[in-house]
Amino acid sequence: MLLDMDLGVLPPSLIPSSQSVYVLVFYFVYLAVAGEILPGKVIRGVLLSDGSQLRYRCNGLLALTLLVAILGICAKLGIVSPLVVADRGLELLSATFIFCVLVTLALYVTGRNSSYKSSSLKPHVSGNLVHDWWFGIQLNPQFMSIDLKFFFVRAGMMGWLLINLSILAKSVQDGSLSQSMILYQIFCALYILDYFVHEEYMTSTWDIIAERLGFMLGWWLLHNKVELTVPAIVANCLVFVIGYMVFRGANKQKHIFKKNPKTPIWGKPPVVVGGKLLASGYWGIARHCNYLGDLMLALSFSLPCGISSPVPYFYPIYLLILLIWRERRDEVRCAEKYKEIWAEYLRLVPWRILPYVY
């Protein structure tokens, strides 16, 4: 009875049905099986403090292509509805939220009881329950030999595309497909495909968590018809293209530099501080140009929604706050790790994210 009362205050669309649980279970089981059995380049992760290195099988592009093909065939045969995500979006959102809370609680319990000594599984317990649950206890927790961090980033990126495709199918069915919807879909699809083409680069980032909030924007476009002028479309495309070049270029330059510090950057020998830090290319313009590119991309996903409402700008604003916070924490970590080398880098490259502004 108490349960009924509590659920009664929620909109019915937020209460997960058994179908939304089946969708999630199918999705996670598919990702786990595909990740394990499909072929892909095996990449060694960064060197951990105890000298160990994790291995990642980068078969995300194949897993995604196969999943979209399977779902496309099933939709054609009438086995699944392509609208299932668009119609059950809020339910799926709440089911995913409940799932995340359960998983992180399970990680908290297993982390606390872990007696592993390796860098990836050693427990880091502060004693504050909320802190330990929020930030996690183990660096690279695993379940049935699956690296959970890598797995959930994948789930988020692929889920984002599936949500968008379902919303696209709904707008085609409703006859409400607009230029804005097409732009939004193209930008997001390119960004997600690019992630999987370059999946190996993510294995060397400081933190590979990249949560996306795709559903909200697509849903907004489905319910608000936006007509864009030609200059607005051109400007939107430019923000996307420049954002992409900066984002991908900066991450690629760092990744290549870490593998071989002598590789030329923009055709010239790299400027290197203390033999460890790259100070040319994008890394000579600002200390986190890659964040700038990501922010421009986030903006380009929202711009197709026009500027009549702040609602679609939730994602770039959220990302701005997240990346500024992250950049500050990364600076503290790098200052501690690189000491005088970092101080020298700071002198050479004074800007954090956007030259002459921040």
Q: Distances from the Cα of 299 to the Cαs of 138, 181, 310, in angstroms? A: 33, 15, 12
**Interface with ligand NDP includes 337 (CB under 6 A)?**
yes
Would you say 4 or 336 has its CB closer to ligand NDP?
A: 336
Do 281 and 265 form a contact (C-beta atoms < 8 A)? yes
**Interface with ligand NDP includes 198 (CB under 6 A)?**
no
Q: Taking CA 48 as the corner, what is the angle to CA 336 and CA 112, rounded to the nearest 5 degrees? A: 95
The size of the interface with ligand NDP (CB under 6 A), counted in residues, is: 23
Question: Nearest distance from residue 231's CB to ligand NDP, in Å?
Answer: 28
Task: Give, as ranges, the residues between 299 and 328 that touch ligand NDP (CB under 6 A).
Answer: 319, 322, 326
Would you say 168 or 278 has its CB closer to ligand NDP?
A: 278
Would you say 112 or 333 has its CB closer to ligand NDP?
A: 333
Beta strand 272-273 with 146-147 is unpaired
Q: Which residue's structure tokens are 């200059």?
A: 231
Question: Nearest distance from residue 46's CB to ligand NDP, in Å?
Answer: 6
Helix axes 289-302, 179-197, angle to 10 degrees: 150
Q: Please tell me whether residue 58 adopts helix, strand or coil conformation.
A: strand
Would you say 171 or 282 has its CB closer to ligand NDP?
A: 282
Instruction: Dig out the tokens for 343 from the structure.
Output: 């101080």
Phi then psi for residue 143, to 5 deg, are -135, 120
Would you say 174 or 207 has its CB closer to ligand NDP?
A: 207
**Interface with ligand NDP includes 205 (CB under 6 A)?**
yes
Can you tell me the distance from the alpha carbon of 189 to that of 83, in angstroms, rounded to the nearest whole number?
A: 18
Among 96, 166, 251, 302, binds ligand NDP (CB under 6 A): 251
Among 30, 330, 341, 354, binds ligand NDP (CB under 6 A): 330
Do 157 and 195 form a contact (C-beta atoms < 8 A)? yes
Would you say 169 or 292 has its CB closer to ligand NDP?
A: 292
**Interface with ligand NDP includes 347 (CB under 6 A)?**
no
Query: Whose CA is closest to 212, among 258, 290, 159, 282?
Result: 159
Question: Nearest distance from residue 152's CB to ligand NDP, in Å?
Answer: 12
Would you say 107 or 297 has its CB closer to ligand NDP?
A: 297
> 42: which strand partners?
57
Q: Which stretch binds ligand NDP (CB under 6 A): 20-28, 85-93, 102-110, 199-207?
A: 199-207
Q: Distances from the Cα of 14 to the Cαs of 20, 21, 86, 177, 238, in angstroms? A: 11, 13, 13, 26, 37
Among 83, 103, 139, 334, binds ligand NDP (CB under 6 A): 334
Question: Nearest distance from residue 217's CB to ligand NDP, in Å?
Answer: 14
> 55: which strand partners?
44
Q: Taking CA 270 as the corner, what is the angle to CA 269 and CA 273, rounded to the nearest 5 degrees? A: 135
**Binding pattern to ligand NDP, positions 27-46, x when CB under 6 A?**
--------------------
Q: Is residue 199 packed enough to be buried (19+ CB in 10 Å), middle (13-18) or exposed (0-12)?
A: buried
**Binding pattern to ligand NDP, positions 254-293, x when CB under 6 A?**
x--x-------------------xx----x----x-xx--
Question: Nearest distance from residue 172's CB to ligand NDP, in Å?
Answer: 28
Query: Whose CA is closest to 327, among 301, 351, 355, 302?
Result: 351
Residues lying near ligand NDP in the complex (CB under 6 A) are found at 205-207, 210-211, 247, 251, 254, 257, 277-278, 283, 288, 290-291, 294, 319, 322, 326, 330, 333-334, 337
